[in-house]
Structure formats: structure tokens, C-alpha cells
Structure 1
Amino acid sequence: MSSTHLDRPSGVLQRAPSGHLGPSYKPKEEKPTATVSTEVTHSNVTILPQTPQLIALLTMIRNKATNRADFIFYSNRINRLLVEEALNHLPVLPHTITTPVDRTYNGVKFEGKICGVSIMRAGEAMEQALRECCRSVRIGKILIQRDEETSKPRLFYDKLPEDVSQRWVLLLDPMLATGGSALMAIDVLRSKGVPEEHILFLNLIASPEGAANFAQRYPKVRIVTAFVDQGLNEKNYIVPGLGDFGDRYYTL
């Protein structure tokens, strides 16, 4: 699938698949049809289940008529789903405890420490969801900006926990287009000693091209995304996409 998307002419996009959404006990003819995520074959990419809840949330933030307050609220809900799914990919150890009624319970606990690293500024919008799930989590910052003429990323700043190499890293950026900025962020993390397999990249919407770039260059980095869109247009914008996430989240 990666070669298909990378080799197709600019501006030629595949049609996004449709699916019938609704409770499993409802017959198909009673379920509405909606656009669902494009499937990818890369083993390091996890797409959230295409549930009615998720598609409804995505519909809200894709709508250009959605006001900023609603955009923030519904984006935060999706971010929470992404963080919770990402935590499922962290290693755990057996952990037996005693309940208040003096019975044992065989559970698990996370192995090792985690931290978040947001690609500024849009990635900072995902920090709240991470803090809600992981109390007192440490968060680093990486500032990478894309040259609008060349579409190439440039590194301006990074501030990471001193022991980042000993942590599992949740890399945060809501949009995965060409993957240039995120790939550079991975380079920064690896230069600090973070193993490739200890990085999870969380984003709301990805392009097939970006997912393929990751699979080819860093196959051990796990991507957790809510939706893989149709592709990129001639300006390397994700379509149908949702516009500039940072502008819609932070700008009145």
C-alpha cells in the first residue's frame, strides 16, 4: 500500500471507504453510512476503532462551521481516546494487591516511566489529555516548523527531560501529513538516546503517505491515530482534513 500512495500522481486521491455505523444489534439497513478511515497494512500503525462516537467527534472538528470552543472540546475528547489507546501499548508487569475486604487480586502495573513530548505548537493541544490520564507526567517540547515553499522541516528548539532516554515517550502532534516534522522529532529523540521501540507517536489524522514514510524509516515506532485520510494535495495538505489544527485550536 505504501508504494501505491507514494507513487501516484500529485492530486490523485483514492476514495475514502464507507461503513455502516451503529450498534451491532441493529440491521445494516438501519445504520447510517459514513466515511471511515482508510486501512493501512503497516504493522506499526494502530487506528482507533471506527465507532459512531469517534466519527461523530471527527465530523464536528472537520466542519469549517464549528466554532473554536466546540473545536477545542471535541478535539480534547479525541485526544483522550488516543492517549488511552497508546497506554495499552506500554509493557506491564504482574502486580498482585489486597482489596479492602482482604482478598487478593491479580492485576498489572506499568513497567518503566513515561513522558510526553509535544511538537510545538499544535502538539501542545494534546498535553491536557495526557495529564488527565497520567498524573504529574513530565512533558518535553520540540519546535519544528515547515518551510511553506519546500515543505521541509527545520528544527528551532528542544527541551526534554534529562532522563528521557530511560522513559517511554509519547510524541504528540495532531496531524501527520508528509511526516517530515515528526520524523525530525524522532531523530532528536534518538540523538538523546531514546530507543526507537520506546516511542509512540499520537495524532488525530494521518495521511497514507505519512504513515508509509514512518513505516519505511522507523518501523519500530508505533503510530496511534484516529483516522487515516484520503491523501495529500499538491500543497501537501491532508484532504479532506480539517484545516490548520493549530490555528483552529489557538486562534479566535
Structure 2
Amino acid sequence: MTLQLRVYVKEHPLIKHWLAVVRDQDTPSSIFRSGMTELGRWLTYEAIRDWLPTREGTVQTPLAETPATFIDAEIPIAIVPILRAGLALLDGCQPLLPLASIYHLGFARDEETLEPHCYLNKLPEQLDPRTRILIPEPMLATGGTIVATMAELTRRGINPDFTRIIAVVCAPQALQKLSNLYPGLSIYTAMIDEGLNEHGFIVPGLGDAGDRTFGTGLG
């Protein structure tokens, strides 16, 4: 069976609302952070709907014994936020996955070559191949950073079929790269935008998510 990259553009009104808020260039940093947290929450909710491992059991209510479904804590779950912009989504997704381990990856982009450079890697040397991996990355633009992230994860034994990405906006260029290299992935996003400008930024996009989140640039 041939695998094909699955990209889900979620139509929830709250996702649309918060996307509009974070796109607006006049949104102040404090509200931008709130918007990113909410997008992290709702995109994670959609991403884990049929993804979390479960087990069946029973519980005793005050009146009778009844069948019950539980999250299977024996299957590891990990969140891998890509620094620094991925931290903007983490506050929204972490409460939905309270048992998840969090492994940080930090990448900086060379503005001339547009290639990513890894400056922080907190991944363990080996991961259980059953691990469910959630990657919060606000923007999938050229695809360089997310491809480098996937390369680090697969070297440590993860299965791309168990990996899901949440992104606020995506460019077709990044999706094409991922489709060619990791067709088993699933991506949950608020929007697929038109493309990239000459500097590799998504258009219309939302500016620099890291700068706008942390108030360190013009956005």
C-alpha cells in the first residue's frame, strides 16, 4: 500500500477566529501569545482525537459496574516543540497530554541559504518505536526545519506513522518535501497559504511567530 501525506485543515470556528487574530499585524504580543496558545489547544485536540492509545477496563459507579475506556499509559507519548516558535503552541497542547515527555529541539535559520542549523537537541539517543510524537511548529515554510526534525527523530527510532504535526499555517513547498520524504505523517493546520516570498516567509502568513510571541522584533 502506498502511503500519502495527510493534511487536515480544520474548520472549527475557534481555530478560524484565532488564526485571524494572530495574522493581524496590529495584534499586540500579549494577545498574539494567547492566540497561539488557543491554536495549540484546538489543533492538538483535533490531532489526538483518533491517535491516543487506549485500553478497555471497568469501573464501579455508585450504582453498578460499567465498561470504561482509559488512555494506555504503557505507550509513550512525547511532545517535541521546535524552538523557539514552537513554544508558542506548547502551552496549549501540553495540558491535553499531561503524561507526555517534552523534548526540545532548537533550530536557527541561515538567512542567506535558508538552511536550518541545530543549536539545541534534547532528544534521547533512542526512543521507543511505539512512541506517539506530537510536533508543535507554528509555520511550515521552506520545509527545511521540519525535515531536519524528522531526520533527528527517525534516527532515534520513531515511526513517522505515529507522528503528528500541528502548524498554524503551511506553505505548499514544505508539504511537498514532507510528502516525498515522510508520506506516513499527518499534519493538522489552520490554513495552507499561497506560498513563499523571496526571503522564504509564508505569504500571507503571520510574520515571524517567534518575534511576535516573545516581543523581540517588529513582527
Provide the TM-score with structure 2 as the length reference.
Answer: 0.88
Instruction: Please say if residues 82 and 105 of structure 2, whose CA atoms lie closer than 8 Å, have aligned partners that are also in contact.
Output: yes
Distance 1:51 1:196 in 2: 26
Amino acid corresponding to residue 183 of structure 1 in structure 2: V
The alignment status of 1:65 with 2:29, answered yes or no, reads: no
1:18 is aligned to none
Q: Which of 39, 60, 76 pairs up with 2:37?
A: 76
1:117 is aligned to 80
What secondary structure, in the 3-state scheme, does the structure 1 residue paired with 2:183 have?
coil
Give 1:165 deviation, angstroms: 3.1
What secondary structure, in the 3-state scheme, does the structure 2 residue paired with 1:165 have?
coil
Amino acid corresponding to residue 199 of structure 2 in structure 1: K
Give 1:121 deviation, angstroms: 0.6
Distance 1:239 1:131 in 2: 29
Query: What do you get for the CA RMSD once the two structures are aligned?
Result: 1.9
Q: Deviations over 1:119-174 (max 9, x none)?
A: 11111222222221122421001112111011111222211246533421111211
Q: Which of 154, 158, 166 pairs up with 2:121?
A: 158
- Within a 5 Å distance, the mapping from 1:197-236 to structure 2 comes to 197-236=161-200
Distance 1:231 1:129 in 2: 27
The alignment status of 1:53 with 2:14, answered yes or no, reads: yes
Q: Gaps spanning 5+ residues in structure 1: where? A: 1-41
Distance 1:176 1:72 in 2: 18
Q: Gaps spanning 5+ residues in structure 2: where? A: none
Instruction: Please say if residues 115 and 164 of structure 1, whose CA atoms lie closer than 8 Å, have aligned partners that are also in contact.
Output: no
Provide the TM-score with structure 1 as the length reference.
Answer: 0.77
Distance 1:79 1:91 in 2: 17
The alignment status of 1:107 with 2:107, answered yes or no, reads: no
Instruction: Please say if residues 168 and 198 of structure 1, whose CA atoms lie closer than 8 Å, have aligned partners that are also in contact.
Output: yes
Q: Which of 181, 195, 200 pairs up with 2:159?
A: 195
Matched residues, number: 210
The alignment status of 1:88 with 2:49, answered yes or no, reads: yes
2:112 is aligned to 149
Between the two proteins, what is the percent identity of the paired residues?
29
Worse-superposed segment, 173-182 or 82-91: 82-91
What secondary structure, in the 3-state scheme, does the structure 2 residue paired with 1:122 have?
coil
Distance 1:203 1:149, change over 3 A: same
Distance 1:51 1:90, change over 3 A: closer
Distance 1:128 1:53, change over 3 A: closer
Higher alpha-carbon Rg: 1
Give 1:220 deviation, angstroms: 0.9
The alignment status of 1:138 with 2:107, answered yes or no, reads: no
Instruction: Please say if residues 76 and 128 of structure 2, whose CA atoms lie closer than 8 Å, have aligned partners that are also in contact.
Output: no
Give 1:245 deviation, angstroms: 0.3
Amino acid corresponding to residue 138 of structure 1 in structure 2: S
Q: Deviations over 1:11-66 (max 9, x none)?
A: xxxxxxxxxxxxxxxxxxxxxxxxxxxxxxx6421221x23322221111110111
Instruction: Please say if residues 124 and 156 of structure 2, whose CA atoms lie closer than 8 Å, have aligned partners that are also in contact.
Output: no
Worse-superposed segment, 83-92 or 222-231: 83-92
